[in-house]
Amino acid sequence: VSHRWAFVALLACACGGADGERDGRPDILLISVDTLRADHLGCYGYERDTSPALDGLAAEGVLFTTATSSTSWTLPAHASMFTGLPQSVHGLDRTTRVLADERATLAESLQRAGYHTLGAWSGPYLHPHFGLAQGFDDWVSCVGYDIAGEGQLHGKDRSAHRSSHEDITSPRLLAQVERWMNARDERPLFLFVHMWDVHYDFLPPAPYDSMFDPDYNGPIDGRDLSNLATALPPRDLEHLIALYDGEIRWTDHHIGAMLELVGEEAIVVVTSDHGEEFFEHGHFGHRRTLYEESIRVPLIIRAPGMAHAGRRAADLASVMDVAPTLLELAGASPLPETMGRSLVPAWTSSALDPVPLMSELYLRKAYTLALRTPGHKLILGEERELFDLQQDPGELRPLGAEAAPPLTTEAHAALLAELQRLARQHELPGAADAELPAQIDAELRKLGYIDDED
């Protein structure tokens, strides 16, 4: 049976120790643009010119047309990106969890392979408290406000009391990448950059604030969006989306500058942790549902000399596949346990097996699971919803209860059974409980991420 769960068996790691062979190892830049919907990028067919730098990157690499996050919020999605594990296994399903030290991560494997591992983060869930810094030689805060002792920050634009949703971090991240490139030694670099500005609030600096809707005169200014509970009038919603698109273009500008800094030989992966809802299913924001607008993300992989330029791969891909793919491209040891898989066969052979993508959400003591096949999506939560994504890509017309789910193959059935078993476990393996430091808790509350039912 060929499916992701075949890989969860705790295989003994046969990897060796430090790898002294560093010559010729490519630098790696992994960019996670928080809250970036795939369908708002030019290279994914969007009508607005939001992403000239990413479009150029896609022309030099492989673009996965159907990439999905493991969930719809920041903390578990990044844990999946780094471990290749779903939320049910890494266990970071709520804010009081941290990634256990025992978990193997992408950065740890690259570090053992001789990489200098450097991360820069700019949103509260990437704070080292949560355990995602494992394996990084340096893990640099680029937030512009005081969070849990991270107050002494870089740059002249620091404002101690600005909170996370108003924070503008791309220039600080770019400056950090420049410092790293200037200070490099003989080791190949693994740079991870977590970009925050596309996340609400939507406050793109000029000229990006008026780039896509210059004639608007209404009340929407992109602020205080975490409590936006009721649908907006169409014209106001249009402007809100234009501001989101302005944030994407602003971020894309900085990504372009980072690509210049790392050079054309570097392996570059750009993806996101989740999308954003604009009332397609009655909500604004994320961490609410597992519909496509919440979990569909871009995934662009440029691997000079190793991947065909300009290829568009229709294989189903997950953020859980990022670590296995990068480790193969770097010639580093694979993660000893992972449910992601290397995407390299998507361009070296004809196609990958069409295993289903899974996404999970645990919210207010309720668990929701989504399984996506090439043509269908099954969501198991308070209700059971099955969608034909060819006929109904917006997931607005669930098929009737009589419709057979696309889980007819042995692999799909085994996947579903295993997920349900994991979901029933009260003590999720691999996660450690930890009380949230007060300043992180305060920032997450301002963002609307925490309420007392959390």
User: Which residues bind to Zn ion, rule: CB under 5 A?
Assistant: 34, 74, 273
Smallest distance from Zn ion to CB 34, Å: 4
Least distance to Zn ion, CB of residue 22, Å: 33
CB of 226 to Zn ion, least distance (A): 13
52-60 and 234-262 helices cross at what angle (nearest 10)? 50
Angle at alpha carbon of residue 360, lines to 356 and 362, rounded to 5°? 165
Shortest reach from residue 35's CB to Zn ion, in Å: 5
Single-letter amino acid code for the residue at 245: D
Smallest CA-to-CA distance from 26 within 346, 307, 309 is with 307
Please, which residue, 176 or 294, has the CB nearer to Zn ion? Answer: 294
CA–CA gap between residue 271 and residue 264 (Å, rounded)? 19
Containing 374, the helix (H) or strand (E) segment is none
Least distance from Zn ion to the Cβ atom of residue 9, Å: 30
Short-list 264, 267, 293, 298, CA closest to 281: 293
Contact call for residues 288 and 363 (beta carbons, < 8 A): yes
- Residue 117 has phi, psi (to 5 degrees) of -105, 120
| Contact assessment for residue 108 and residue 135, using Cβ atoms and an 8 Å cutoff | yes
CB of 440 to Zn ion, least distance (A): 15
Q: How far is the CB of 104 from Zn ion (least distance, A)?
A: 23
| Residue number, 252 or 273, with CB nearest to Zn ion | 273
Distances (CA, A) of 364 to 39, 95, 428, 451: 29, 12, 17, 9
Q: Which residue is nearest to Zn ion (CB)?
A: 74
Identify any residues that bridge with 384 across adjacent strands, giving them in sequence order. Answer: 380
| Beta carbon of residue 52, minimum distance to Zn ion (angstroms, whole number) | 23
Q: Which of 225, 176, 177 is nearest to 200 (CA)?
A: 225
Q: Which of 232, 366, 189, 394 is nearest to 287 (CA)?
A: 366
> Positive or negative CA dihedral for 224, 122, 342, 58?
positive
Comparison of 146 and 273: residue with beta carbon closer to Zn ion: 273
Least distance between Zn ion and beta carbon 198 (Å): 9
For residues 35, 358, 379, 196, the Cα torsion angle rounded to the nearest 10 degrees is: -10
Quote the least distance from Cβ 75 to Zn ion, whole Å.
8
Structure tokens at 261: 């800094």
Residue whose CB is less far from Zn ion, 74 or 164:
74
Q: Are strands 299-302 and 267-271 parallel, antiparallel or unpaired?
A: antiparallel
Q: Rank residues 74 and 318 by Cβ distance to Zn ion and give the closer one.
A: 74
Rounded distance between C-alpha atoms, residue 43 and residue 79, angstroms: 27
Find the shortest distance in angstroms from Cβ 173 to Zn ion: 15
- The answer to whether 37 and 51 have CB atoms below 8 angstroms apart is no
Q: Which is nearer to Zn ion, 283 or 341 (CB)?
A: 283
Between 5 and 125, name the residue whose CB sits nearer to Zn ion: 125
- For residue 143, give the nearest of 153, 156, 130, 157 by alpha carbon: 153
Question: How many whole angstroms separate alpha carbon 360 and alpha carbon 379?
Answer: 9
Q: Which CB sits closer to Zn ion, 73 or 212?
A: 73
Helices marked H in 184-266: 234-262
- Residues linked to residue 318 through DSSP beta bridges, in sequence order: 68
